[in-house]
Amino acid sequence: MADNTAVNAQVTDAVTQTNVKVVAEAPAQAIASLYQVASHSAGLSLQNAVHNQHALNQISTAVVSKAVSMIMAIPDKP
């Protein structure tokens, strides 16, 4: 098969420049994705901490209420 497919130099230059641009942007895109994932993980951990603190506050309120109730139930000594 004869190699008669001459390609215009401008076409090959455009394809080459596009490939270089894509390869050059890849590290920046990867780091941006990493930053987004890391910040999302940090946000989720803070949300979990707030939720756990709220749940513990509810439990402590119930415990204090029950303790006060038990203390108040102790009869007075004459």
At residue 1 the predicted structure's pLDDT band, cuts being 50, 70 and 90, is very low
Mean pLDDT, residues 24-51: 95
In 3D space, the residue among 58, 57, 61 whose CA is nearest the CA of residue 69 turns out to be: 61
pTM beyond 0.75: the answer is no
- Tokens at residue 53, please? 């603190």
**Does the pLDDT of residue 66 top 90, yes or no?**
yes
Element holding 32 (H helix, E strand)? helix 9-72
pLDDT at 4: 65
